[in-house]
Amino acid sequence: MAGKPTIDDIARLAGVSKTTVSRILNHKPDVDPATRKRVLQIVEEQGYVPSITASGLAGGRSLLLGVLVPSFTWPNIPDLMRGIAGVVEQTPYEMVLYSINEANTEQNRSAVINRIFATQLTAGLLAVFPGREASEPITKLYNKGFPVVVIDDQVVQTTPWVGADNTAGAYLAVRHLINLGHRRIAHIQGPEEYLVSQDRYHGYLQALTGAGITPDPALVLRGDFLPPSGRECANILFEMPPEQRPTAIFAATDQMAYGVLTAAEAHNLHVPQDIAVVGFDDDEPSAHIHPPLTTVRQPSFEMGQCGMELLLSLVKAARDRELDEPGVTQIQSPPVRILLPTSLTVRVSCGSNSSIPLSSSE
């Protein structure tokens, strides 16, 4: 047969209707066993692959799930995607990937999300770090009854949400530094407009005040999550007079902590002897740099798993609701919010290379 075989070709070769072929491919009952065997044999001989989209639409449902991600260069995207894919592999669904990066304008980001809903190609959407500009159109999708789950957005969400306990993780990191004897602990924040930056700063403050240490505003500087800003902030801290200089730095991301390590080397400071350093995220390189970085581990893999499991439950609920009340799509119940625990991975950069069982779930 020339070209890719279609369902019409299979029906013609088997001498049955297209509906019969569709029922066999979708494992429907009440098909003559001999007919089923003949059709499946022809399917195998012709190498016919059913269209997932067409099969879903024929049955009044889509077998595709949308996953919206930012740049694939983000350090924790691979772990998140492994968690997401592991759940999807256990279902009849397939993923459709959409990407929104920081170079897109707000109008372009909204257009991508609106197109996802308008095409009705997918049964639901899992949005990973969609960002501030995408939050409003995503919320509109959810309010229209479209199953949506957001993973760790940077703003307060009114949709089903899965994230990490950033405040507790930061508290663990700073508390550990305090337990090691540090009192002048600096903090390099992320951008103020991001919720994750605020949460990690609050954890830093809670640890200090809980230990009876008055926070010093001069020891709190702001970066942008990336190594150059960590280096610039560390340079400011290292140029302070010795009596005002911090003995430890808690950076809000591992990426900024890498910049701190570079600045320490430029100032001939030894880590951890002269300055202790702790990051947040537990990016893969953190275990292999010199010295290995103490950091707060985000449960990225688990966030991917949990987010997809939650989306699948919303898709099922939407279908059940449509069967019970055709035409009713408005979601009535409050959105589910799941906060996963973080944990502290202790390595050499903080002055202690012994692992300790610290977790934000304690």
pLDDT single digits (tens) 46-81: 877 665 445 554 445 568 898 988 766 677 888 999
Is residue 25 in some structural domain?
yes
Is residue 57 in some structural domain?
no
For residue 245, the 8-state DSSP code is S
Residue 291 identity = P
Together in a domain, 213 and 137: no
Together in a domain, 290 and 314: no
CATH of the domain at 295: 3.40.50.2300
For helices 106-119 and 132-143, give the axis angle rounded to 10 degrees: 20
Q: Residue range 163-169: average pLDDT?
A: 95
pLDDT at 291: 95
At residue 193, φ and ψ (nearest 5 deg) are -75, -10
Distance CA 204, CA 215 (A): 9
Pair 147, 124: CB distance under 8 Å: yes
Which residue segment(s) compose the domain that 178 sits in?
166-299+345-350
- Average pLDDT, whole number, for the chain? 84
Residue with tokens 């350090």: 75
pLDDT at 180: 95
Pair 348, 278: CB distance under 8 Å: no
pTM of the complete model: 0.76
Looking at the DSSP bridge assignments, the partners of residue 278 are 250, 294
CATH of the domain at 26: 1.10.260.40
Together in a domain, 151 and 74: yes
pLDDT at 131: 65
What is the pLDDT confidence band of residue 107, given thresholds at 50, 70 and 90?
low
| 118-160 pLDDT per residue, tens | 666 788 999 887 666 667 788 888 888 889 999 986 666 688 9
Q: Does the pLDDT value for residue 357 go beyond 50?
A: no
Pair 94, 123: CB distance under 8 Å: no
Enumerate the H helices of the chain as residue ranges: 7-14, 18-25, 33-46, 52-58, 77-88, 106-119, 132-143, 166-179, 195-210, 227-238, 254-266, 300-324
Q: Does the pLDDT value for residue 187 go beyond 60?
A: yes
The encoded tokens of residue 302 equal 């688990």
Q: Residue range 112-118: average pLDDT?
A: 67
pLDDT at 146: 86
| 4-50 pLDDT per residue, tens | 788 888 999 999 998 888 888 766 778 898 998 999 889 878 877 66
Residue with tokens 């075989």: 5
Is residue 124 in some structural domain?
yes
Together in a domain, 217 and 283: yes
Together in a domain, 180 and 105: no
Together in a domain, 98 and 223: no
Looking at the DSSP bridge assignments, the partners of residue 164 are 340
Q: Does the pLDDT value for residue 354 go beyond 50?
A: no
Together in a domain, 273 and 284: yes
Is residue 210 in some structural domain?
yes
Together in a domain, 128 and 230: no
CB environment 321-330: b (16+ within 10 A), e (fewer): beeeeeeeee
Q: Does the pLDDT value for residue 361 go beyond 70?
A: no
Is residue 58 in some structural domain?
no
pLDDT at 3: 64
How much is the CA Rg of the chain, to the nearest whole Å?
26
Inter-CA distances, 23 with 6, 13, 36, 209, 262, Å: 15, 16, 9, 66, 63
Is residue 193 in some structural domain?
yes
Domain count for the chain, please give it: 3
Together in a domain, 226 and 252: yes
Together in a domain, 172 and 279: yes
The count of other CB atoms within 10 Å of the CB of residue 319 is 14
Is residue 232 in some structural domain?
yes
The encoded tokens of residue 39 equal 């059709």
Map residue 164 onto helix, strand or coil. strand
Q: Residue range 88-116: average pLDDT?
A: 72
What is the pLDDT confidence band of residue 355, given thresholds at 50, 70 and 90?
very low
Is residue 59 in some structural domain?
no
